[in-house]
Amino acid sequence: MGITFLLNGETVTVQDAPATLTLLSWLREEQMLCGTKEGCNEGDCGACSVVVQDETGTKALNACILFMPQLDGKSVRTVEGFSAPDGSLHPVQQALVDHHGSQCGFCTPGFTASMVAAHTNGARDFDDQLAGNLCRCTGYAPIIRAAEAAATIPIPDWLSATSATKTADLMSAASKEADAAQPGSSDALALAYSVAPDATLIAGATDVGLWVTKQLRDLDPVIFLNKCDDLREVSITDSDLTFGAMVTMTTLRDVIAPYHPSFAEMLRRFASTQIRNAATLGGNIANGSPIGDAPPALIALGAQLHLRCGDTRRVLPLENYFIEYGKQDRLPGEFVEKISIPRQTDRLKVYKISKRFDQDISAVLGAFNISLQDGIISDARIAFGGMAGTPKRASNVEKSLIGQPWNMNSIQAADAQWQADYTPMSDMRASADYRLDCARNLLHRYFLEDSGINTSVLEVSA
């Protein structure tokens, strides 16, 4: 397929590139732009970070798991393209020099890309913005100081997001002829997928990318969803919050925050900025992972999953989509179209337990949504990831709570029911006993927080 995009301000066209050729490989091997580094090759270290602009804004993304067809109609800048035509450095580049933000320099191009994207967007939460960039020798303090120093300096004219996006929009309109491998709408996707139900659907590629870079799998045939703009739609009504399957985790976090802030806070720890900018809600659900972070929270909220196969649509409770490990209720040629969450009073708390605070896979993720009426538990929806072969509700614990007074005696009486709901495994992230203890303790934590007691270690002070 033909791919046209801006690379450091210049139009490039790539013909007949393999569908799963990564931007990182193309930059280093075909363009000899070797500033973008290969580190982990799985989207963890950030050494390959680049800046991508399109009609949705400016983003830092991992080039190592970004396939070339995903760039059609966009603007890409690498570390070689951040300075001005006359050689003047971008403010974050100059700040990194002034604040001694580099030693060996291997990670510096990726840090620079993330900092340029943050600077363009006016983002000041630097600990979050740079959580997806790892440095082993400089230390993060001078890098953060550099980001802070550059924050108040205006965006350089040569990197104006508006002009770059306008150019990308023109290119996108010119190159938007849809084909079976890159349909331009959900209708076109439904047709293409019904014809080739064995195709691999590629949305953000934050999971599928590793199938190529780590497992060396041949994914042919593939269907890219990046041009299905209607799958990025968000709808808010009096009854529901509805998210298209291509809504990114970044967008989900922004939209959900006013309604369920604990969900949004958990999403702050979902991988990294680069991954959240690419990963999609539909992908996080469709792959059926037992440790996907979004499904437990969505199940606790009573989310409905909207599936489509050709012209046929069906809706089912999200919890029913997960049948067993590696098996989901999805027919050949059927795809996730959207996810809807009933509007409700916020009673949701989401707790992610992992060895690292940032950018780590959950050992246990618990979501609690317990409703009260006159001090009595009227409803309880509790869902966990990492406790079974699928995201799963704690149905026995729920039953033991409903109808009981909301107090510690009721919480403790439910402790014995956890083993009836879950038989977790032991692995490198946690033992089975640890997982069960976590589940019990998290229900206690939910009650304490609901009683006004602060339990967050992030809020503890001397």
The 10s digit of each residue's pLDDT in 68-117 is 999 999 999 999 999 999 999 999 999 999 999 999 999 999 999 999 99
The answer to whether residues 448 and 455 touch, using CB atoms and an 8 Å cutoff, is: yes
Res 140: pLDDT = 95
The answer to whether residues 295 and 285 touch, using CB atoms and an 8 Å cutoff, is: yes
- Cα–Cα distance, 228 to 208 (Å, whole number): 18
Each residue's pLDDT tens digit, 317-359 = 999 999 999 999 999 999 999 999 999 999 999 999 999 999 9
> What confidence tier does 170 reach under pLDDT thresholds 50, 70, 90?
low
Bridge-based pairing of strands 57-62 and 49-54 is antiparallel
Res 179: pLDDT = 75
- Cα–Cα distance, 106 to 108 (Å, whole number): 6
Q: Phi then psi for 95, rounded to 5 degrees?
A: -65, -35
Report the percentage of the chain scoring pLDDT > 70: 95
Res 265: pLDDT = 97
Give the closest residue to 228 by CA, choosing from 195, 199, 171, 190.
190
Question: Does residue 225 carry a pLDDT above 70?
Answer: yes
Indicate left, alpha or beta for 359 from its phi (over 0: left) and psi (-120 to 50: alpha). Answer: left
Each residue's pLDDT tens digit, 231-253 = 999 999 999 999 999 999 999 99
Mapping DSSP to helix (H, G, I), strand (E, B) and coil, where does residue 62 land?
strand
Burial 141-177 (b: 16+ CB within 10 A, else e): ebbbbbbebbbeeebbebbebeebbeebeebbeebee
> What confidence tier does 2 reach under pLDDT thresholds 50, 70, 90?
confident
pTM over 0.85: yes
Question: Does residue 175 carry a pLDDT above 70?
Answer: no
The answer to whether residues 363 and 430 touch, using CB atoms and an 8 Å cutoff, is: yes
The answer to whether residues 206 and 33 touch, using CB atoms and an 8 Å cutoff, is: no
> What confidence tier does 180 reach under pLDDT thresholds 50, 70, 90?
confident
| Structure tokens given for 176 | 């938007």
> What confidence tier does 158 reach under pLDDT thresholds 50, 70, 90?
confident
The answer to whether residues 365 and 422 touch, using CB atoms and an 8 Å cutoff, is: no
- Cα–Cα distance, 309 to 134 (Å, whole number): 42
Q: Phi then psi for 168, rounded to 5 degrees?
A: -65, -35
Res 168: pLDDT = 56
